[in-house]
Amino acid sequence: MTAPHRTPARTGRDGTADWVRYWRADGRPMEAMRAHFTGHVFHRHSHDAYSFAVTESGAQRFVCRGARHVSGAGMVMAFNPDDPHDGEAAAEDGFTYRIVHLGPDLVRSVLTDALGRTAPMPLFPHPVREDPLLRQALLRLHAALAGGAAADALVQDERLTEAVLAMVRRGARTPGPAAAPRAGSAAVRRARALLEEQWAQEVPAERLAEAAGCSRYALYRAFRTELGFPPSDFQRQLRLRAARRMLRQGASAAEAAAVCGFADQAHLHRWFVRCYGMTPGAYACGRL
């Protein structure tokens, strides 16, 4: 385990320095971050994990699932895997928050262990909640993950179970029957498959539309409606996730940029900061 990494300060719109502290568990899909932002604006992005957060002070606003939300001090946020969202300060003095990212398989294993049977993956219908018990459970988990070299693995596991069960019991619902496929679903599915297969390559719009079997306009509209991103942003998310995997495995930012379809290291750096609020170097160094 190593100490948390702190990103270099950036000056926010009110003259206050933005900062980020980040921790990542080795060998487990579990990450934690504490940050303060005043001027940073998160580009629309998503995570391949459940993301649970507590706004400590100030307020932040974001768009998720087609609606605008505001999280003020003491409020809890919950994002499902692949939930597109953006974010920025909603108060002049910015906001400070703590967030944990938990891989879906880790959440499933906690629920399966607690229930004694295979558990369905939970869905969190409300991105923002006021719930003191959830807030306390998440803060306790974050404190255990942010303990660095002093972190106790048993305490981490206990608080992980406590937080996951609290979130599921108080804030989640079990997925219902699958809805009937929408008209654009087949086209989006085919286009998505092509992007997931060739995420690091240039895929012209004409080729994507041909694979989808519809016009470029129809594909763009259906893709954005169903996945929350236009195809170009979706492909960039795939590239960023691949870069994160490489950085976790010890690759340099330059290597990750070259392999993952970015023009150069500076290009990766810009998009990494825009979507995650930290540099690739900070992410690579932030092991628990």
User: Does one domain contain both 238 and 253?
Assistant: yes
Distances in Å between the Cα of 143 and the Cα atoms of 31, 100, 110, 137, 262 are 12, 10, 19, 10, 35
User: Does one domain contain both 237 and 213?
Assistant: no
User: Does one domain contain both 47 and 133?
Assistant: yes
Look at residues 228, 246, 261 and tell me which one is the last residue of a structural domain: 228
- How confident is the model at residue 10, as a pLDDT? 55
What single DSSP character describes residue 66? T
User: Does one domain contain both 105 and 195?
Assistant: no
Look at residues 128, 150, 171 and tell me which one is the last residue of a structural domain: 171
Q: Which domain holds residue 123?
A: 5-171
User: Does one domain contain both 138 and 159?
Assistant: yes
pTM assigned to the model: 0.89
Question: Which CATH number covers residue 215?
Answer: 1.10.10
User: Does one domain contain both 209 and 106?
Assistant: no
Distance CA 22, CA 287 (A): 8
User: Does one domain contain both 224 and 234?
Assistant: no
Distance CA 23, CA 33 (A): 6
Distance CA 16, CA 7 (A): 15
Question: Which CATH number covers residue 275?
Answer: 1.10.10.60
User: Does one domain contain both 53 and 132?
Assistant: yes
User: Does one domain contain both 32 and 50?
Assistant: yes
Distance CA 50, CA 142 (A): 14
Look at residues 171, 206, 240 and tell me which one is the last residue of a structural domain: 171
Count of structural domains within the chain: 3
Question: Which CATH number covers residue 58?
Answer: 2.60.120.10
User: Does one domain contain both 237 and 255?
Assistant: yes
User: Does one domain contain both 114 and 206?
Assistant: no
First and final C-alpha spacing in the chain? 5
User: Does one domain contain both 193 and 99?
Assistant: no
Q: Mind listing the pLDDT tens digit of every residue in the chain (288 residues)?
A: 344 555 544 544 445 689 999 998 878 999 999 999 999 999 999 999 999 999 999 999 999 999 999 999 999 999 999 999 999 999 999 999 999 999 999 999 999 999 899 988 999 999 999 999 999 999 999 999 997 555 688 899 999 999 999 999 999 986 655 444 555 689 999 999 999 999 999 999 999 999 999 999 999 999 999 999 999 999 999 999 999 999 999 999 999 999 999 999 999 999 999 999 999 999 998 754
**Would you state the structure tokens that stand for residue 268, as one six-digit string?**
């990766």
